[in-house]
């Protein structure tokens, strides 16, 4: 972000939390001294939906900036239709996010 022209005083990094909810709460504390404005929320693309919902629930207006996208191009081939360990890992990642989002919703975090 600094290479893109942001001032160091405008960059805050929260790296102590263990969960998305903890991160949103901690960031709300970091941002209490700021007056208005939006923040750039940078996180892994697979976590963005839950992260954005958590931060908005904490009253933080975010501009989502996802990174590490898994799908960057479409390549269709018969081999892609076969079971694989990488597909199983992708399924695990997706299930973790959907279950996490449901869990957060049930507990009022989003």
Which pair of tokens denotes residue 60? 């933080």
Is 33 in a helix, a strand, or coil? coil
CA distance between the termini of the chain: 27
**Cα 60 off chain centre by:** 14
Q: Is the pLDDT score of 85 beyond 90?
A: no
pTM: 0.77
User: What would the pLDDT profile of 15-73 be if each residue is shown by its tens digit?
Assistant: 899 999 999 999 888 887 776 678 889 999 999 999 999 999 999 999 999 998 877 77
User: What would the pLDDT profile of 90-99 be if each residue is shown by its tens digit?
Assistant: 889 899 999 9
Answer yes or no: are the C-beta atoms of 64 and 89 closer than 8 Å: no
Domain ranges (residues) in the chain: 8-106
CB-based burial of residue 57 (10 Å sphere; 0-12 exposed, 13-18 middle, 19+ buried)?
middle
How far apart CA 29 and CA 22 sit, in angstroms, is 11
């Amino acid at each position: 972000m600094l290479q893109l022209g942001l001032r160091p005083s405008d960059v805050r990094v929260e790296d102590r939390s263990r969960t998305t909810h903890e991160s949103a709460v901690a960031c709300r504390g970091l941002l209490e001294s700021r007056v208005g404005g939006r923040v750039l929320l940078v996180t892994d693309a697979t976590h963005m939906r839950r992260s954005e919902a958590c931060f908005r629930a904490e009253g933080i207006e975010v501009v989502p900036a996802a990174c590490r996208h898994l799908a960057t191009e479409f390549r269709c081939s018969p081999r892609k239709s076969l079971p694989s360990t990488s597909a199983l890992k992708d399924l695990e990642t997706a299930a973790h996010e959907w279950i996490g989002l449901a869990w957060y919703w049930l507990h009022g975090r989003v």
